Amino acid sequence: MFQLPVVDPCIPCALVPQASRRRGALLARTLLRTGIVDAALMPARPGPDHLRNCQTVLEGWVRRELGALRMLRPYFAMNLREAGSDAGHAVGPSCTIEWGGESFGVRWVGPALEFLERHQPRLGRTVLHVLERQAFRTLPIYTPAIVMECASDVYWYGESDEDMALEEACGDDADERKAMRDNMVTRAMFDSTFPGWALGGRSRPVGRRTLQRIAESESDHRVANVIESLMSVLGVELPTYDWSFREGRFVGFSGVLAWGREDELTGRVLDDYEQMVSESGDYFETCGELTIAVEDHETFAHWFDAMRPWCRATRALDGLIWQLCEGDWSAK
């Protein structure tokens, strides 16, 4: 009778390069020293690939910190580099962490924000202001004010309207100015698409005590839920992110908050803006990146400490955006 070949049990099912095993073992030891690893994060059956085991632990940690999100789609990437040399000195393996957000597409927030503004003066403006401010510290999102900044960049030479562009292209020729204005994006288009308070302005946002007072006496559950989500966003203190050290224009926005179904301006501007940036080649997509020596458990621990409030803020922001995009806001 024929006998099937038998693989010796000492032979592993998967072959892992020695260098990869070494880096994985160093990373595993570092993660243990940070104190983030517990039994709940460990794979049920750890395999011989230490890097894959570390990946399972890190993915579990992120899911636990972020919770269930309904709108935002953050991502994390980790790349390990082998030991090398720098200025003649030996350098151990390093780890580069990158994070950002995939786009949730286009959602309409105009009906909700206009309802809130009618319901309580400056409430819609406050919600939009807080959303923009916190998004730029976590996962940036296109809002009307940011779309107008893109229009300024693409069409208006960095100005607040098209007058400078018309002056540069047409001079004093009234017919040419009219023809050019008829075929370009103008400030009047923004003023007719969005209310003035959605594009900025100097009105002060509603304070936290006033928001709390409105929520306590509010009978409309939609408004109460938005204020509750807004307070959750305000309740997470995050440092202002310094974008100045990044080279190029940021294009990794996590979504677009258009005003409504009739808002064709937002799509037009963003299509032209992203084409301009793509042709320039001078852009970046990640919201943050950090390179750490694999054995530097203290820096890893500090990063995890910084990401905990980042995750809480992202979760709160997700809830606020969902409240604005879902439900029927047309009812009076």
Question: 3-state SS string over 12-64?
Answer: CCCCCCHHHHHHHHHHHHHHHHHCCCCHHHCCCCCCCCHHHHHHHHHHHHHHH
Strands 94-102 and 288-293: antiparallel
- pLDDT at residue 23 in the model: 81
Q: How far is CA 321 from CA 39, 54, 107, in A?
A: 34, 32, 9
Strands 256-258 and 106-108: parallel
Average pLDDT (109-136) is 95
Each residue's pLDDT tens digit, 195-244: 999 998 778 899 999 999 999 999 999 999 999 999 999 999 887 777 77
pLDDT confidence bin for 89, thresholds 50/70/90: very low
pLDDT confidence bin for 90, thresholds 50/70/90: very low
Give ∠ CA 22-27-29 in degrees, rounded to 5. 95
- Cα separation of 322 and 247, whole Å? 32
Residue 11 has pLDDT above 70, yes or no: no
pLDDT confidence bin for 16, thresholds 50/70/90: low
Each residue's pLDDT tens digit, 312-324: 999 999 999 999 9
User: What Rg, from alpha-carbon coordinates, does the chain have?
Assistant: 25
pLDDT confidence bin for 245, thresholds 50/70/90: confident
- Cα separation of 112 and 214, whole Å? 17
Percent of the chain with pLDDT over 70: 91
Between helix 297-325 and helix 221-234 the angle, nearest 10°, is 160
In single-letter form, the type of residue at position 7 comes to V
Average pLDDT (256-273) is 96
- Look up residue 198 and give its two tokens: 């959605």
pLDDT, mean over the chain: 89
Each residue's pLDDT tens digit, 159-193: 999 999 999 999 999 999 999 999 999 999 999 99
